[in-house]
């Protein structure tokens, strides 16, 4: 059936397209400027000559970033936190969401109410800090993964997806002798790839951008993740030029701004590369709960 598009709808669609294009450009252009600065010389950056294209193209900023062992250590810590933390999040969130999505679970309404309360009333910083200290997680990478193991919002999204799985499928599995763990592992999780991918992206971005928790709970600079290392570079100009290094003769006359921008790119690109591989699942997961039968 062909739907007739009126003139007013065409005008609205054109205006909507133009508005969204301008909005996307406003959001994307600062990132393009950062990329241009990361490939520009110190003189061009200092004089304000860099806008959307590199000026006096150079790779020296990236050479410094990739040769700095402290940045690589922070990068590896961020990768570890993101991978392990996301796995913990997905395991615990799905383990809580599945039983609370089944009507035969006794007392699930009270558990759901308690989870909902964590969204409305969040714990203050000082009590959380004291709790982390008393249970021995201070100055440990576990302090960045364990306290936020389950996001209440992501839990409700995943629970709503589990509720759409036919109960007859679960009942037939029980009749065949499957345990609840086997049902969860062999049936529920394979059918939940869109939800798991969506939640995985949310959790991974959260861990990759971990900043405040690392600032509160980590005292050893050797354990700083990449975002905290980036904060040091930007806020404190913590850029060390080793006179014995091969880059010193080239870097001594350069501004740290280009190095900061290169570090921003290095900290941003890895998480952006994950999206294309999970795009089809992510789009499906975003539609969870949008259609009611």
What the chain holds in terms of domains, given with CATH numbers, is 1-58 (no CATH), 68-286 (1.10.3720.10)
Measured distance CA(88)–CA(151) in Å, rounded: 11
Higher pLDDT, 5 or 57: 57
pLDDT at 252 > cutoff 80: no
Degrees (nearest 5) of the Cα angle 56, 61, 63? 120
Measured distance CA(69)–CA(222) in Å, rounded: 11
Which of 94, 96, 124 lies closest to 191, judged by CA?
94
Percent of the chain with pLDDT over 70: 86
- Residue 253 pLDDT class (50, 70, 90 cuts): very low
Measured distance CA(138)–CA(144) in Å, rounded: 10
The lowest-confidence range among 90-99, 140-149, 192-201, 244-253 is 244-253
Q: What is the pLDDT of residue 189?
A: 83
Query: What six digits make up the tokens of 279?
Result: 């795009």
Q: What is the pLDDT of residue 244?
A: 44
Give the mean model confidence (pLDDT) for residues 250-265: 70
* pLDDT tens digits along 40-76: 877 787 777 788 888 888 888 888 888 878 888 888 9
The lowest-confidence range among 22-36, 154-168, 226-240, 279-293 is 279-293
pLDDT at 84 > cutoff 90: yes
Measured distance CA(34)–CA(52) in Å, rounded: 8
CB under 8 Å to 108, separation ≥6 — which residues?
99, 100, 102
Length of the chain: 293
Q: What is the pLDDT of residue 288?
A: 56
For residues 193 and 281, the answer to whether their CB atoms sit within 8 Å is yes
pLDDT at 199 > cutoff 80: yes
pLDDT at 242 > cutoff 80: no
Burial pattern 145-155, b for ≥16 Cβ within 10 A else e, equals bebbebbbebb
Q: What is the pLDDT of residue 59?
A: 81
pLDDT at 245 > cutoff 60: no
Q: What is the pLDDT of residue 263?
A: 82
Give the single-character DSSP code of 246.
Answer: T
Q: What is the pLDDT of residue 54?
A: 83
Higher pLDDT, 235 or 92: 92
pLDDT at 278 > cutoff 70: no
Higher pLDDT, 221 or 242: 221
CB under 8 Å to 70, separation ≥6 — which residues?
229
* pLDDT tens digits along 121-178: 887 888 888 888 898 888 888 988 888 888 888 888 888 888 888 878 888 888 878 7
């Amino acid at each position: 059936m062909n739907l007739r598009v009126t003139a007013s709808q065409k005008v609205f669609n054109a205006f909507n397209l133009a508005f969204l294009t301008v909005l996307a450009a406003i959001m994307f252009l600062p990132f393009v400027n950062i990329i241009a600065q990361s490939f520009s010389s110190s003189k061009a950056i200092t004089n304000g000559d860099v806008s959307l294209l590199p000026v006096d193209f150079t790779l020296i900023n990236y050479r410094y970033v990739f040769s700095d062992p402290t940045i690589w250590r922070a990068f590896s810590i961020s990768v570890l936190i993101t991978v392990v933390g996301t796995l913990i999040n997905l395991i615990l969130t799905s383990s809580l969401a599945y039983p609370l999505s089944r009507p035969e679970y006794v007392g699930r309404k009270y558990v759901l109410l308690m989870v909902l309360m964590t969204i409305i009333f969040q714990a203050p910083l000082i009590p959380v800090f004291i709790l982390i200290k008393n249970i021995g997680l201070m100055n440990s990478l576990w302090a960045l993964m364990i306290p936020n193991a389950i996001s209440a919002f992501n839990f409700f999204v995943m629970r709503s997806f589990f509720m759409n799985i036919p109960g007859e499928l679960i009942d037939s599995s029980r009749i065949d002798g499957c345990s609840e763990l086997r049902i969860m592992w062999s049936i529920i999780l394979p059918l939940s790839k869109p939800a798991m991918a969506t939640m995985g992206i949310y959790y991974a971005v959260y861990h990759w951008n971990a900043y405040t928790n690392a600032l509160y709970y980590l005292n050893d600079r050797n354990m700083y993740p990449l975002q905290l290392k980036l904060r040091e570079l930007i806020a404190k100009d913590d850029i060390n030029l080793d006179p014995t290094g091969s880059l010193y003769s080239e870097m001594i006359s350069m501004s740290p701004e280009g190095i900061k921008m290169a570090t921003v790119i290095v900290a941003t690109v890895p998480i952006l590369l994950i999206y294309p591989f999970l795009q089809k699942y992510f789009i499906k997961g975003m539609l969870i709960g949008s259609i009611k039968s």
